[in-house]
Amino acid sequence: MINADKPQLWKQDIVKSVDLFNNWFIKFAPKTYRDTRKQTTEQVINAINLTENLTNITIKSLNDHPEVLPILRMSTSPPLARDRLIGLAHANKNLVKKMEEGVIAVQMDEDELNRNLDKICKIIHELLDTDIFPWLTIKKKPTKLEKERASTIVADRLCGAVANPIIRNAQEQRQLALIGKYLKKLGYKQEYHLSGTPITEIPPGTFSFRMNVPSGKEKNINIPVDVVIQPKKLRRSKLPILIEAKSAGDFTNVNKRRKEEATKMRQLKAAYGSEIQLILFLCGYFDAGYLGYEAAEGLDWIWEHRIEDFKKLRI
């Protein structure tokens, strides 16, 4: 074991991990958020233009540009969560989900689709925030300044709704880059493997990011793994080391999600036996309750602030 069997070190490691995350957040999170906000503002302006300054929110406009729906949800008073819109409009849940991914659920009957879109349009029209879009009340074309101001407000609402995923994604990208840089210094080569590639066939001295690993008793469950490392010296089982990058900005959230890794571990063991290793790469707010739970489930971890512990994996 690397850290799971050393509870005497957990307290000081937790403090260092929290400090590392907080320092990163203060330095880089604001820029990440600002960059996303700028990009989102441009998307809002585009949505306003596509709907003729929000005066043409129709079945056709939503059919042609389903991707504007999240922006329209944030243009109402109060702003609408996706499930709230579905409930108010009595709309098809899958349709709304697909629209927010930028597509229309093509398998739906055209009449049914139009009925759903019409109900969505009516709710949006009824709740549009005229304080943000004053031109809707006076029925006048907005000035450039009015449009920019409104777009910034809606962009802030959108970014506020997804602030945690924005930060989490940026942190995950940073963690993977850090692991990749460390492995390359050790002489490892990054490779890409198609989904479903048997992990015992991965060449020694290589690593890959975001690989789907067949798991479960029948190996019919694909589990996404952040990093797969095949040591230079193949193990007897030829099994690689699997790494899950984890970061957290508060203690509450990790304890809500701590079962996820344990479930992955059980599915992996069902497929490959007890020799398979899933190692957590941690940065941020992981308390003793979380660590104790994962240790009891047979999981081990490496702290980002002590990345040299990778060497203990004999890679």
Shared domain for 12 and 51, answered yes or no, is no
- Give the contacts of 31 (CB within 8 A, at least 6 positions apart): none
φ, ψ of residue 101 in degrees (nearest 5): -90, 0
CA 259 to chain centre: 17
Say if CB 217 and CB 205 are below 8 A apart: no
Does residue 90 belong to any structural domain of this protein?
A: yes
Shared domain for 219 and 292, answered yes or no, is yes
pLDDT of 106: 66
Shared domain for 172 and 230, answered yes or no, is yes
Shared domain for 143 and 200, answered yes or no, is no
Mean pLDDT of the chain: 92
The total domain count for the chain is 2
Strands (E), the chain: 189-190, 206-215, 221-230, 241-248, 277-284, 300-303
Q: Give one DSSP letter per residue of 148-204, joined into a string.
A: HHHHHHHHHHHHHHTHHHHHHHHHHHHHHHHHHHHHHHTT-EE----TT--GGGSPT
pLDDT at 161 over 70: yes
Shared domain for 169 and 20, answered yes or no, is yes
Shared domain for 12 and 49, answered yes or no, is no
d(C-alpha 211, C-alpha 197), whole Å: 9
Of 139, 162, 185, which residue is a domain's last? 162
Which residue range is the domain that position 100 belongs to?
A: 33-162
Shared domain for 172 and 307, answered yes or no, is yes
Say if CB 263 and CB 294 are below 8 A apart: no
Percent of the chain with pLDDT over 90: 75
Residue bearing the bigger pLDDT, 255 or 174: 174
Of 162, 197, 232, which residue is a domain's last? 162
Does residue 128 belong to any structural domain of this protein?
A: yes
Shared domain for 184 and 285, answered yes or no, is yes
Shared domain for 175 and 297, answered yes or no, is yes
pLDDT of 250: 84
Say if CB 37 and CB 155 are below 8 A apart: yes
Tens of pLDDT along 232-250? 999 999 999 999 999 988 8
Q: Which of 21, 2, 15, 20 is nearest to 248 (CA)?
A: 21
Does residue 220 belong to any structural domain of this protein?
A: yes
* Residues found in the chain: 315
Tens of pLDDT along 91-114? 999 999 999 999 987 678 899 999
pLDDT of 105: 73
d(C-alpha 93, C-alpha 119), whole Å: 13
| C-alpha distances out from residue 110 to 69, 113, 115, 201, Å | 19, 5, 9, 48
Does residue 218 belong to any structural domain of this protein?
A: yes
Q: Which residue has the tokens 């490691």?
A: 13
Q: Is 207 left (phi over 0), alpha (psi -120 to 50) or beta?
A: beta
d(C-alpha 88, C-alpha 268), whole Å: 42
Of 162, 177, 197, which residue is a domain's last? 162
* Rg, Å, the chain Cα set: 24
Shared domain for 108 and 257, answered yes or no, is no
Q: Give the mean pLDDT of 207-225.
A: 91
pLDDT of 193: 82
Q: Which of 50, 28, 31 is nearest to 39 (CA)?
A: 31
What residues pair up with 76 in beta bridges, in sequence order?
128
pLDDT of 257: 80
Shared domain for 69 and 151, answered yes or no, is yes
CATH number at residue 300: 3.40.1350.10
Shared domain for 246 and 173, answered yes or no, is yes
Q: Give the mean pLDDT of 279-306.
A: 95
Tens of pLDDT along 112-149? 999 999 999 999 999 999 999 999 999 899 999 899 99
Q: Confidence band (pLDDT; 50, 70, 90) for 215?
A: very high
Does residue 1 belong to any structural domain of this protein?
A: no
Does residue 2 belong to any structural domain of this protein?
A: no
d(C-alpha 70, C-alpha 57), whole Å: 13
